[in-house]
Structure 1
Amino acid sequence: MSSAKAGLPTPDLTAAVAAIDDLKGRDILVLDLRGLCDATDFFVVASGTSDAHVRGIANSVLEKLDRRGVRAHHVEGLPGGRWVLLDFVDFVVHLFHPEARSFYQLERLWSDAPELRPGA
Structure 2
Amino acid sequence: MNSNEIVQLAAEASDDKRAEDIIALDMNEVSLVADYFLICHGSNERQVQAIARAIKDAAEEKGISVRRLEGYEQARWILVDIGDVVCHVFHKDERSYYNLERLWGDATRVSLTVGQEG
TM-score (norm 2): 0.90
Residue 24 of structure 2 corresponds to 30
Structure 2: distance between partners of 1:117 and 1:24: 18
Distance 1:117 1:26, change over 3 A: farther
Structure 1: distance between partners of 2:51 and 2:111: 18
- The code of the aligned residue for 2:36 comes to F
Residue 3 of structure 1 corresponds to none
Question: Displaced runs of 4+ in structure 1, greater than 6 A?
Answer: none
Contact kept in structure 2, 1:28 and 1:117, CA below 8 Å: no
Q: Which runs of 5+ in 1 are unaligned?
A: 1-7
User: How do 1:27-106 residues align onto structure 2 when only pairs under 5 Å count?
Assistant: 27-106=21-100
Identity of aligned residues (%): 32
**What do residues 54-104 of structure 1 show as CA deviations (whole Å, max 9, x unaligned)?**
000100111111010012111110111100000112010000001100110
Structure 1: distance between partners of 2:66 and 2:12: 16
* RMSD of Structure 2 on Structure 1 (CA): 1.4
The answer to whether 1:15 aligns with 2:15 is no
Please report how far the alpha carbon of residue 11 of structure 1 lies from its aligned counterpart in structure 2 after TM superposition.
Answer: 2.0
Q: Which runs of 5+ in 2 are unaligned?
A: none
Structure 2: distance between partners of 1:114 and 1:15: 19
TM-score (norm 1): 0.89
> Aligned pair count?
113
1:75 aligned counterpart, secondary structure: strand
